[in-house]
Structure 1
Amino acid sequence: MEAVRRWARALARGAVPVGLGLLLWAAVGAGEQRRQETLKALPEVTAELLAQRRRHNELVMAALREAAETDENVARRPVPWRK
């Protein structure tokens, strides 16, 4: 009987942090969805602005990709980068 009580206590001690983690994960996930919906509803978010952001992200990713493929310090290049 004592072993059953110890197992129950150990199970409860393990389940409490897992339950709290799941609760926090659900709360953060719902907040993220709400944030995404709010950002989409902003009046200053236009197709042109999104295209500019997308292009900027593509340029940043291209620079990171190039930096990963070369041994040269690409951060020390002159500002108008040339490939």
Structure 2
Amino acid sequence: MSIRTLLASSGMIAVIGLGYGMWSIISPGEERRREMVKNLPEYSSQTMDETRKRTALVMQTLKEASECNENLSRGVGGK
């Protein structure tokens, strides 16, 4: 193994280690991450209820479309 290869490998390992160290310092801890998720607007009960209703409507529409023999992509009474 040449010295150039050894230095290049050591340099790459050092850069990766430095990147990982900086990432671990900057990224929030698990408790902070959970706190941040709880404060997201998507976590409010009103937003979650609206999302459930919208999902139920979409599923109902898909069910009705799957039971229909017409090609709905061409529009109702398509040509």
TM-score range, shorter chain: 0.3 to 0.5
Given the two structures, how large is their TM-score scaled by the length of structure 1? 0.36
Which has more radius of gyration? 2
